Structure 1
Amino acid sequence: MDSHISHIINRALDGALITRDEVVDLLSVEHGTIEAAAIQIAGRRLTKELCDGEAEIHGHIGLDATPCPNDCKFCSFAASARIFRGRNEFTTEEVVANARDFAQAGINAIYLVTTETYDKEKFLEMGAAVKREIGDISLVANVPDFDYDYAVELKKTGFTGCYHVIRFGEGVYTRCSVENRHKTMRAAKEAGLALGNCIDPIGPEHTPDEIADLVMIAREYEVAFSGAMRRNTIPNSVFSEYGNIPYTRLADYVGAVALATGTGIPGNCTHEPSPLTVQGGANIIWAERGSSPRDVSMENTRGLDVGQCRDIYKETEWPVHEGPSRFYS
């Protein structure tokens, strides 16, 4: 066991906030080594200690699948991808039914997810309808950039959280302004919304330095949770030459991010759900309904249901928290 890596791991487990250079060192460890295994074990141990040994299942409900002018090259909704044509939106009845199914299955939080084209007032109305159905289950907004006034409206509607991140290649492979992403994250926190986060979308070409940059942003905002999410490369995109990062390597990053974000950020997420990354320390995974930026059809979703998520946790010995999410309460 490398003494330097062992020292970093032990510092993180003892409650120290490790340095950026140390974060890079953890992320640089070669997969399949004793050091990589130790990072996964330690990341899981720390996350369990911070979360009373429990995991959560969150639910993603996509409200539309419309060509999006933000044109994120890793997203199937990108206008330039030409996968979806015209305006495609789920009805209020369909969305509420999906939320009801999630609630009956014991979900901890429900996210409503849209493209840039979805009307903001309509989103508030949809949120109110869903909140009436799900009661005290945490309701989370995963929407394009907004200002403080809209954040306040989200809070009044019943949303307790917002999922918003600076992604790899922001402003280069997307038409989103990095500054506007920051403004939205600040607005959400100022309005009293808990902020969910993940290091994403990770591809095999991303370096430890690039990943560490996003870890530092998560630490800056004192998010409720972070984690590691892989990019599922859409056909004929600029990322096609790189493909997808293996779940085995993603599990190393899940463990490293848990140690890197420290005791101030308790939760550790991953997507898409995999026993490998959950065994590596992730305790937040998503079930999916409706549209998804990883899908190429409105009729079929590649996402898992709540039962399949529970099975992953059972096989990796994670008890599932009952009740509203501890991260968005």
Structure 2
Amino acid sequence: MSSGQTIKPADILSFYKDSDLDGVIDLRDLCAGTPLDQDIDYEGCPIIHLKQFFVHFDVQFETAKHELKPEYYSELKDFAQFLNQSPDNLILIEGHTDNVGEDDFNIPLSERRAESIAKTLESVFNIPKRQIRAIGHGENQPITSNLTEAGRQENRRVSGEIIEIIPWPSHILSNTGSTEHNEGKVIIPFSFTESLKTYQNDTLATIQQEQTQSIIRQIVTILDSQPDKFLLIEGHTDNTGEEDFNNRVSKARAKAVADAIYDEYFILKAKLKVIGHGQSSPLYSNETEEGRVKNRRVEIILATRHQAEKQVYLQKWDIWNVGEELPFQEVSEEEKPKLNPSHHSPAFWNIMN
């Protein structure tokens, strides 16, 4: 502009024009049309925060019932589609009850509730059984108070979430019974037991062996260093004996391993998922004694919840709390000294809807 030339107001307005009123002039605004309520960066583009979401569902049940209502099929359909696209992931299905009734009734009821979801996923949506893990917790993990009917209704539920298996470090696998045949799972072998009168003593003897204690020490070291991980502890038997007996023995063996970890190393029970498969998942043929010996085992899997990233556009003047709320927990007196907020599971976020 030459000396003495008059600057017109129109030129100034054009230079400083801000068409989308986001506070960044058009000459350097790389993102035109930004909504007024979004926070923006120096170049006029929305600030994006990647927030972690857990893939999760909840269904409720009537008192003492375990049948899945058809109204929940649409939610399972979306979930099944996700599973079909992720064949390496597992679904962990956990059944729960309110506090009405005794444990001897509530735990089997919660297991039937979890199994009703598992069977629906298998039969209706063709999810392979190997991708499904079903557990019953009874009344032990409420999400709200049982003092009201509304609270009890919320606690009568089955929750499901996608989980990912985390490979164990090679040095742990080399020191345990793990082979390529069992896909890198830590193995604790168990001896043959023939009656309910002896299997508890046999199980305790195996837990107390130095080899078993060494395995437990190694896996706890890994678990302590990764607070967002948890253990699937799965019991198996050979096909000798009745199926109901084998189911009971396999669960008791897995629970004994979990109890040993809890009692000695103060790992919260919520991070120890116990499942009994009985004789349904043999690794080897049960036609030979060698195969039956190898099928009597507890497998320990390191896992974490599957998380998906979702873009969240930050709004102007909004203070975002990126932490997650903790789910409701009724904690026993013996567990209170063990609580560590960093080890709690964050609240679940449903992105299926």
Give the TM-score, by structure 2 length.
0.24
Structure ranking higher in strand proportion:
2
- The answer to which structure, 1 or 2, has the higher relative contact order (CA under 8 A, 6+ apart) is 1
Give the TM-score, by structure 1 length.
0.26
Structure ranking higher in helix proportion:
1
User: Which has the greater radius of gyration?
Assistant: 2
